[in-house]
Structure 1
Amino acid sequence: MNADLAPTAATDLPTAAGRVPVRAATPADAEGIIRMRSAYVLSSPLDEEWIGRSAEELAPRLTPAGDARAFVVDAPDGTMTACALGLIHPVLSAPAYPRGLAARVHIVATDPGFRRRGYARAVVTALVDHLADVEAVTLFELHASVEAQPLYRELGFTGSPALMRMTRLPAAAAAPTPQSGPAWVPPEQYAETVLKATAFACVHFTDQDGRPLQLHSVYSPGHPWQMVGGTMDHGERPFETAVRECREETGLAVSGPPRLLATVYGLPGAQWPYSTIGMVFDGGRLTAEQIRAITLNPQEHDEVRVLPVAEWEALMPARDFARLSAVEEARCTGVAAYFGTWDWGNE
């Protein structure tokens, strides 16, 4: 941080609604920023005691020697209508972080009566420009709502709403040099730009008559009937996950070699900020005795059921039934399926 930095003067930023008078916040703005956070960011508003305590904590951090920087827009009557607050913190130096400084955009709030005027874009742009050009911050992070994600992508952030990041190097450091091939960037910087996904693996069982087996969930009303399986742990390969989850959820032991029935993919949505990719393996046919011997984990499932494919349709969401149908077709035909529309929020 630059300890000698004085707050900058008001900056007029052009927006679709005209010129927005953005100014740097001072310690006197601490209470207004906290009230904006309480009213428009937090799920439960703060009481007056906490507003006072938080404002007292924030005020000295908004001084030149502090670690907080904020930009605000005032209404004609002097009340605060929009604000963006960033907190500067150190990180280990790297080519993408030459000064070892990062910032989290902690608060972005706009009074509902002043929205759709470009105020949020204006205060975030002013904050990021100041942190990058004056404070030498190169790594920026923030949490975003799904609705706000497009704005932050336009400003240069990447990733999912759960964690969006941007690396902004000084102009001299970022200037490309003539070369014959594509520009090289550090692996940690490139990793910020690529797809993030969660992975799962399942085992698909049927009974001796070829009827699919499903487990009834006690924790997911949106997906009441499920295949045997779950999310991959770090360091696992997909079939290892399928074997482990099968043992944990049913007590059954699955042996290889693995036979892949389907690959499943889903886009992120409001319910989950990452893409989802999974593999479904053939567990074979179970005897009636094996099905009766299944031992369920009561924290996950409370019933085992076997039904003809058509009878599952009335018991599960349309996309779950479509996935089950694709897996069943792959089992019957021997041709692995690709089910690419198991998106979050598409029930």
Structure 2
Amino acid sequence: MNADPAPTTAAEPRDAAGRPRVRAAAPADAEAITRMRSEHVLSAPFTEDWVRQCTDELAPRLTPEGDARAFVVDAPDGTMAACALSLIHPVLPAPAYPRGRAARVQLVATHPDHRRRGYARAVVSTLLDHLADVEDVTLFELHTSPQAAPLYRDFGFSGSPALMRMTRRSTSAPASAGTGGGSSWVPPEQYAQSLPKAVAFVCLYITDEDDHPLQLHSVYSPSHPWHMIGGALDLGGTPWDAAVRECREETGLDIVGPPRLLATVYGPPRPRRPYSTVQFVFDGGRLSTEQIHRIVLAPREHDEARVLPLDQWQDLMPESDFARLRAVEEARRAGAAGYFDTWGNT
């Protein structure tokens, strides 16, 4: 799958809010989606016979009765600029995905002429929202390239170094394996798969010299518009290194240690994210007025950096977000790290 995670210039088509116009795909879009897959995703393009075969296969599955759901962005000339396709399938339910409906993101593609405009993010976001809110999907799966992985991490996807992708094309039965003489040992991959899954995030609590919190305004999360600097922990990274990286990427500022942990936050599994989350909240220090003026935002993520007295943030944020902000400030003032089982609750 390819991705265009860093928009560089404004591009049409856009809605009134400046976002790419995304629409649901119909059976008539099956050929265009197939060609996007053939030309911009696969290592070897389809022959025309395969294009026709895949189009005929996909078209009826894009109906309400089918198992395929796709969303697209149209280019001004009427061709397809970007698309995201998912296939829905039943699975045995589990506590992390109780409804027993899963979806595999089969295809995300952007035409080279329309990359770096936020189209991939737009179609993936719309697709995931539709699957969760309309199709009642609680388990989401995909395979991705290293280049596209940051986009999917932004949407809550995670991987495990203990698991590996395996495929099998033969129809013959696999060789049987003995179970041994009652040993309780299991392969590390199998044991890792049995453990609860969690995703780690980091953030920095930064204030001005008067201890007024600094927060960034999100361009993609209207339900949580203001938040601290931060992001997901990359595979193989450390929390503090991730915090330093996120600060540099989101503001252009470099912070120095030593690391000081203000709080850890645990989030239980939710329908939209069937795994736990753990967040490390570090003290990012106090910035001077001159340092705050030097902030350069990443436009694909934030459009404003604001400093306000703590109590003035309350009307701008959901209650749970403000409770967390207030608790982190109290932890800094008290000099003792806090622990929270959910956002804002001790």
* TM-score (norm. length: structure 2): 0.51
* Corresponding residue for residue 190 of structure 1: 191
CA distance in 2, matches of 1:249, 1:107: 35
* Corresponding residue for residue 280 of structure 2: 279
What are the equivalent positions in structure 2 for 1:62-211 lying under 5 Å apart?
146-148=98-100, 161-162=139-140, 177-178=181-182, 183-211=184-212
Contact 1:326-1:339 within 8 A present in 2 as well: no
Contact 1:267-1:342 within 8 A present in 2 as well: no
Residue by residue, what CA displacement relative to the aligned partner does 1:226-247 show, whole Å, maximum 9, x if unpaired?
Answer: 1011111222100000000001
How many residue pairs match? The answer is 209
In structure 1, runs of 5+ residues without a counterpart are: 1-42, 59-105, 110-119, 125-141, 150-159
SS of the equivalent of 1:192 reads helix
SS of the equivalent of 2:274 reads coil
Contact 2:199-2:275 within 8 A present in 1 as well: yes
* Corresponding residue for residue 341 of structure 1: 342
CA distance in 2, matches of 1:206, 1:225: 14
CA distance in 1, matches of 2:318, 2:27: 39
1:326 and 2:278 equivalent? no
* Corresponding residue for residue 99 of structure 1: none
Distance 1:176 1:44, change over 3 A: farther
Contact 1:214-1:306 within 8 A present in 2 as well: yes
* Corresponding residue for residue 65 of structure 1: none
* Corresponding residue for residue 249 of structure 1: 250
Displacement of 1:199: 1.3
Contact 1:201-1:280 within 8 A present in 2 as well: yes
Contact 1:225-1:315 within 8 A present in 2 as well: yes
One-letter identity of the residue aligned with 2:100: A
CA distance in 1, matches of 2:323, 2:261: 18
Residue by residue, what CA displacement relative to the aligned partner does 1:257-298 show, whole Å, maximum 9, x if unpaired?
Answer: 100001111122233233211101101111111111111111
Tell me which protein shows more strand as a share of its residues.
Answer: 1
Identity %: 54
* Corresponding residue for residue 315 of structure 2: 314
One-letter identity of the residue aligned with 1:281: F
SS of the equivalent of 1:252 reads coil
SS of the equivalent of 2:284 reads strand
One-letter identity of the residue aligned with 1:320: D
One-letter identity of the residue aligned with 2:325: L
Displacement of 1:173: 6.3
CA distance in 1, matches of 2:218, 2:330: 24
One-letter identity of the residue aligned with 1:148: G
CA distance in 2, matches of 1:283, 1:108: 44
CA distance in 1, matches of 2:283, 2:343: 19
What are the equivalent positions in structure 2 for 1:24-63 lying under 5 Å apart?
none
SS of the equivalent of 1:241 reads helix
One-letter identity of the residue aligned with 2:319: A
CA distance in 2, matches of 1:233, 1:310: 33
Contact 2:97-2:274 within 8 A present in 1 as well: no
In structure 2, runs of 5+ residues without a counterpart are: 1-23, 32-51, 59-86, 102-137, 143-162, 164-173
